[in-house]
Structure 1
Amino acid sequence: MDLIENWTSIRRHFSQSFGSSLHVSIASVDEDNTPTVTPVGTVFLNKDRTGFYFEKFVSTLPRHAKRNNSICILAVNSSKLFWLKSLFQGRFDRYPAFRLWGTLGKRRDATETELRALKKRLKSTRSLKGHRYLWGDMTVVREINFHKGEKINIGKMTETL
C-alpha cells in the first residue's frame, strides 16, 4: 500500500477508530523478541506520514525502543453502526482496519500544536473527574516515522474495495 497515495484516508480512518475504540494498539518486541501490544489513546498522525503519541502511561514502548524501535500500529473502526450496516449490506464500504509499521523516534516536550490536538480530542471529557487524573499533565511525546501500511482485508466483505 502506498502511504503517500493513501495517507489522507489512513488519517481519516484513525480518527474514526479513536471515535469508536478510544485507542489504537501498538505492538513492539522486547529483548527476547517477545511481542507486546499496548493500547494507546493519544496517537496522532501528522500530514507527512509521521505521528506522535503522548508518553505518560506507556512503559514497555520506551523500554523496547532502546533495543528495537520498530513498531506496528493497528487501528480498527469498532463502531457498531459501521459494522451492522456492513453486515446488513454484505460488504464494507471502506476498510474496517489499517495496520501501519514505523519506528519510534525521540522523546521530547510536546509543542503547543500537539497539546491543542490532545485538548481537542479530549474535549468531551474535560468536565469529568477522571479526565484530570488521566490526561491532566500530559506534556511529553514520542515521535513516530511510518514506512509501510496495510489495509486489512476480510474476505468477501472487502473484496469490492
Structure 2
Amino acid sequence: MNLQTDWSKIRKHFNQSFKSNLHVSIASVGSDDRPTVTPIGSLFLNDNQAGFYFEMFPSKLPAHASINKNVCVLGVNSSRLFWIKSLFKGRFEHYPAVKLYGQLGEKRKATDREIARLKRRMRSTKGLKGHKYLWGQMESVREIYFQQAETINLAKMTQEL
C-alpha cells in the first residue's frame, strides 16, 4: 500500500476501525528495548500523511518518545458485519487491518480545530458520566508523521486486494 496515493483509503480504513473498536493500538519501544502497545482512542489522520492524538492518559508512550520516536499504529476493522460478509464470500472487499509506521512529534497545546474534531467524534457519549472523565479536559496533542503503510495479509482472503 502506497502511503501517498492510498492515503484517502487509509483514512477511511482508520475511521471504520475506530467505529468498530473505539481505539487504535500504538506500539513503541523504550530505553530497555522492550516494546509496548498503547491503546489510543483519539487518533485523527490529517490530509498530509500525518495525524495527531490527544495525550492525556498514556505514560509509556510519551516516555518512549524522548528516547525512540518510531512507532507503529495498527487499525483493525472489527465490525462483525464486515467479518461475517467477508467469511461468507471467502474474501475481504477491503483490508481488515492496516499498519502505519511513523515518528512521534512534540507534545503541544491542541488547536481549537483539533478540539472540535474530538468533540464531534465523541458527541454520542456527551450525556454519559464517563464522557467528562475521559474527554472533558483534553488539551494536549502529539503529532505523528507517517512514512510507510502496510496491509495485513490473510492468505486467500486478501489475495485479490
Structures share fold, TM-score greater than 0.5:
yes
What is the number of equivalent residue pairs in this alignment?
161
How far apart are 1:32 and its partner, in Å?
1.3
How far apart are 1:3 and its partner, in Å?
0.6
Equivalent residue number for residue 18 of structure 2: 18
Q: Distance in 1 between matches of 2:160 and 2:68?
A: 37
Equivalent residue number for residue 44 of structure 1: 44
TM-score (norm 2): 0.99
1:119-160 per-residue CA deviation (whole Å, 9 max, x = no partner) reads 011010000010001110001000110001101111000001
Equivalent residue number for residue 155 of structure 1: 155
- Is structure 2 residue 97 aligned with structure 1 residue 108? no
- Is structure 2 residue 6 aligned with structure 1 residue 6? yes
How far apart are 1:2 and its partner, in Å?
1.5
Equivalent residue number for residue 131 of structure 2: 131
TM-score (norm 1): 0.99
- Is structure 2 residue 81 aligned with structure 1 residue 84? no
Letter of the 1:21 partner, please give it.
Answer: N
1:22-61 per-residue CA deviation (whole Å, 9 max, x = no partner) reads 0000000010110000000000000000100000001111
Q: Distance in 2 between matches of 1:3 and 1:79?
A: 24
Q: Secondary structure at the match of 1:86?
A: helix
Q: Distance in 2 between matches of 1:69 and 1:160?
A: 34
Q: Distance in 2 between matches of 1:160 and 1:144?
A: 31
- % identical equivalent positions: 58
Task: Tell me which stretches of 4 or more aligned residues in structure 1 moved more than 6 Å.
Answer: none
Letter of the 2:132 partner, please give it.
Answer: R
- Aligned-pair RMSD on alpha carbons? 0.5
Structure 2 residues without counterparts, runs of 5 or longer: none
Q: Distance in 2 between matches of 1:111 and 1:49?
A: 19
